[in-house]
Amino acid sequence: MDQRVTVRYVESSRLPTDWGVFTMHGFEDPAASKEHLVLTMGDVGDGAPVLARVHSECLTGDALFSLRCDCGNQLEAALKAIAETGRGALFYLRQEGRGIGLLNKIRAYRLQDEGADTVEANEQLGFGPDMRDYTILGPMFAHLAITSINLMTNNPRKVMALEELGIEVLHRVPLQTDSNPHNEKYLRTKGAKLGHMFDE
């Protein structure tokens, strides 16, 4: 694990939701001034593979119901899948806008309004296409004693990042939601430039 990773466990509590009662675990990364969450249901530390989702914060999609992305729909679909299974974990990372932050994300949105795709917008602002750091997951997985997962994702980079941390990814579970006129270009860019895997 990267020696720079300073993420540490803080506290846990119940979190009742429309999909059932989860346990919410709070973690902090003082070096990055970030706080992260994991929602679990059932006994995830019993050694059996865990249905899991690694979800990066998207305030606009998760909380403000934006149609520019598929983030909010993916979050709900993952929580519903975990609840239906009765056991699983959702890792909620505070890495807004693929790691560029909320205000830069708004700047990127403006560039997209002018014709750039999501990758081009990030690059025009001086960022890489995806600035997220998945090494912060190491202490979270260790604290929860999760060693093998079935990962809900369309992003092969997440699979590789977790395997590099020593997490066994047994299966990639597609997490595809309906598109709309506002996010069609966004989804095409994910597939063409970031390697996300979608069904036709």
Residue 119 is assigned to a ligand binding site: no
**Residue 58 assigned ligand-binding role:** yes
| 95 in a labelled binding site | no
56 is known to lie in a ligand binding site: yes
CA quadruple 156, 37, 146, 44: dihedral sign: negative
**Tokens at residue 86, please?**
């009765």
Is 35 annotated as belonging to a binding site? Answer: no
**69 a known binding residue?**
yes
**Residues assigned a catalytic role:** 130, 132
Token reading at 130: 């995806």
Strand order in the sheet with 168-173: 8-17, 20-29, 34-41, 88-93, 50-56, 148-152, 168-173
> Is 54 within any annotated ligand binding site?
yes
Q: What is the 3-state secondary structure (H, E, C) of 96-150?
A: HHHHCCHHHHHHHHHHHHCCCCHHHHHHHCCCCCCCCCHHHHHHHHHHHCCCEEE
Could you tell me which residues are annotated as the binding site for Zn(2+)? 58, 69, 71
Could you tell me which residues are annotated as the binding site for GTP? 53-57, 74, 96-98, 118, 153, 158
Could you tell me which residues are annotated as the binding site? 53-58, 69, 71, 74, 96-98, 118, 153, 158
